[in-house]
Amino acid sequence: MAKYKVEIPGIDTNSLKVIKNSDMVKLFKKYQKGDKLAKEEIINGNLKLVLSIINKYNNGKHDMNDLFQIGCVGLIKAVDNFSLEYNVQFSTYAVPLILGEVKRFIRDSSVVRISRSIRDNAYNILKFRDEYVYKNGVEPSNKQICAHLKISEYELASSLESLVSPMSIYDPIYNDGGDPIYLIDQIADKNNDGADDAINLNNAISKISDREAGVLYSRYIYGKTQMEIANDLGVSQAQVSRIEKNAIKNLKRLMK
């Protein structure tokens, strides 16, 4: 089975070569002395890195050719700005730039309108994270990001969630090979038709707390685990579990 299932027109993704780190260093030394062919070889030798990043978006909702081209823009930026003095592998340096370009493209082309403040926060978070990785070789913690940007951890989580492509409440959230389970199946009245369910659900969500709504969106719309949400909010998994259970309980009560 092919490792990468992303299909890019005109490219045999399974035959793309990968350059060893030792060879990468030699090529960068050549490129930084003005060898343009070395730059082309570096780019071609890291196309699988781009594919591995965009593969997570291979869900039928995005044009993978567009994402591949956008990812290559991030790769080229990484090649142009990388320095051997950073003392990190090129892939470590390049991943945040490639991912940042892809996420910005998805965000900017999204049909869902995001408020300017949230969009600006998301941009500043990615910018600070990229700069921090360049200087330190590791990603900053949520607390470090919040302290630098002077935002709360809830604002951090909400801003990052705005970068994720939204799902319909009728998209499956679980499937073990049998009938899929949808969010609407868990909280809706089966006697109502789909349109009424959606209206009632939207009304109910608008009446619960922002924290409860945020956890539900993260869990059932963006598909995050409780542990991932806990890390985003800086709380324990047990707290996220309680918030989720209480939110669903409140939705059921409000939708009766």
215 and 139 in a common domain: no
pLDDT at 4: 44
Confidence of residue 51 (pLDDT cuts 50, 70, 90): confident
pLDDT tens, position by position, 139-162? 888 889 999 999 888 888 878 776
Using the predicted structure, report yes or no on whether residue 40 has a pLDDT greater than 50: yes
**Residues 200, 188: Cα–Cα separation, whole Å:** 8
DSSP per position, 54-96: HGGG-SSSS-HHHHHHHHHHHHHHHHHH--GGG-S-HHHHHHH
pLDDT tens, position by position, 87-114? 778 888 888 888 888 887 876 665 555 6
What average pLDDT does range 193-203 have in this prediction?
63
**Residues 107, 110: Cα–Cα separation, whole Å:** 5
Amino acid identity at 89: Q
Query: What CATH number does the domain containing 133 carry?
Result: 1.10.10
Q: Of 35, 56, 88, which one is at a domain's C-terminal end?
A: 88
178 and 161 in a common domain: no
197 and 161 in a common domain: no
163 or 202, which is more confident? 202
Q: Which domain holds residue 139?
A: 110-166
177 and 156 in a common domain: no
141 and 224 in a common domain: no
Nearby residues of 98 by Cβ (< 8 Å), 6 or more positions away? 49, 50, 53, 71, 74, 75, 78
What average pLDDT does range 24-51 have in this prediction?
89
pLDDT at 11: 60
138 and 66 in a common domain: no
81 and 15 in a common domain: yes
Amino acid identity at 54: I
Using the predicted structure, report yes or no on whether residue 204 has a pLDDT greater than 70: yes
- Domain count within the chain: 3
Q: Does residue 93 fall inside a structural domain?
A: no
201 close to 187: Cβ distance less than 8 angstroms = yes
Q: What share of the chain is helix, strand, coil (3-state, %, to 5)?
A: 65, 5, 30
List beta partners, residue 11: 8
Listed range (1-10, 113-122, 185-194, 217-226) with the worst mean pLDDT: 1-10
189 and 154 in a common domain: no
Amino acid identity at 59: N
255 close to 187: Cβ distance less than 8 angstroms = yes
Nearby residues of 215 by Cβ (< 8 Å), 6 or more positions away? 229, 240, 243, 244, 247
pLDDT at 1: 32
Residue among 163, 165, 90 nearest 127 (CA): 163
pLDDT tens, position by position, 240-250? 888 988 888 88
Using the predicted structure, report yes or no on whether residue 82 has a pLDDT greater than 50: yes
Q: Does residue 103 fall inside a structural domain?
A: no
Q: Does residue 98 fall inside a structural domain?
A: no
Query: What CATH number does the domain containing 248 carry?
Result: 1.10.10.10
Q: Does residue 9 fall inside a structural domain?
A: yes
119 and 62 in a common domain: no
